[in-house]
Amino acid sequence: MTPTSAARAFIIPVAFAALWQTASTVGWLNPILFPPPTAVFQTGWDMTLSGELPRHISATLRRVFLGVFWGGLGGLIVGLLMGISTWIRHLLEPLVSAIYSTPKLTLFPLVMLFLGIGDASRVLLIALVAFIFVAVEAVDGIRSLDLHYVDLARNYGAGRWDLIRKVYFPGSLPHIFTGLRLAFSRSLVTGISVELISGPDGLGTIIWLAWETLRTERLYVGIIVAALLGAVAFRSARSIEKYLVPWRD
């Protein structure tokens, strides 16, 4: 992103914050429901200095990264196998499709029934989200691969492992990174949603407790930080993808 494009990206948020501040200052907005941005920023700054906000952010990110890592790894393996082997795809496709179409939060009570209310159940639900997105994109990546590359590699004596390592995996990387971007963003949403229900800490806990006590400045802090984390993660994934998969563009 160039400095000019970065500046353009901040035009609308800055203009919106200025309009919000003005409307709150002159009394057009209810300060209880719409506290001025300066008050929200001050609250966020105080929470940062006290260590409260970093602690909750690290708790959320720890669960999300663990879930995306293990779920993404499992989705990558299963997706590659489903893409390469027709009988494995026919065997697993109904199960993957059923999990994909099921709202993941509806599975959380069942997961807690087996794993309890600790972090294991939250990480497993996040991992399930990541697994589905990466697996589906990996399958699509392999199935959209030009078969001429496969035939060419076989003509040069490539075995099954060589095809996976040098043809199938690199050829499906653009789709896999798309799956990872979707997995991280949806995993962040799922992680915060789970914290709203049962989390002892995390951004979801900040948002829920702020709503219960009508401390709207803290509520907006939690929402804004969650949005910023999603935006940063998306841009970071795009940059890594451009570096590792330069042939996509």
Mean pLDDT (the chain) is 85
CATH superfamily, with its number, for domain 50-244: MetI-like (1.10.3720.10)
Tell me what percent of the residues of the chain surpass a pLDDT of 70. 95
Q: Considering only residues 234 and 78, tell me which one the structure prediction assigns the higher pLDDT.
A: 78
Exposure on the CB side of residue 7, measured as CA atoms within 13 A: 3
Count helices and strands in the chain by DSSP H and E runs: 12, 0
208 pLDDT above the threshold of 80: yes
What is each CA distance from 206 to 202, 223, 238, in whole angstroms? 7, 9, 29
187's tokens: 């995993």
132's tokens: 């589905």
User: Of 3-12, 52-61, 127-136, where does mean pLDDT reach its minimum?
Assistant: 3-12
Chain-centroid distance of CA 20 in Å reads: 29
Residues 55-98 pLDDT 10s: 999 999 999 999 999 999 999 999 988 888 888 888 988 888 88
Quote the pLDDT of residue 69.
Answer: 93
Rounded to 5 degrees, what are φ and ψ at 190?
-65, -45
223 pLDDT above the threshold of 60: yes
Exposure on the CB side of residue 68, measured as CA atoms within 13 A: 23
* Sequence-ordered alpha helix ranges (H) in 102-202: 108-115, 119-143, 147-155, 160-163, 169-198
Assessment of whether the complete model's pTM goes beyond 0.85: no
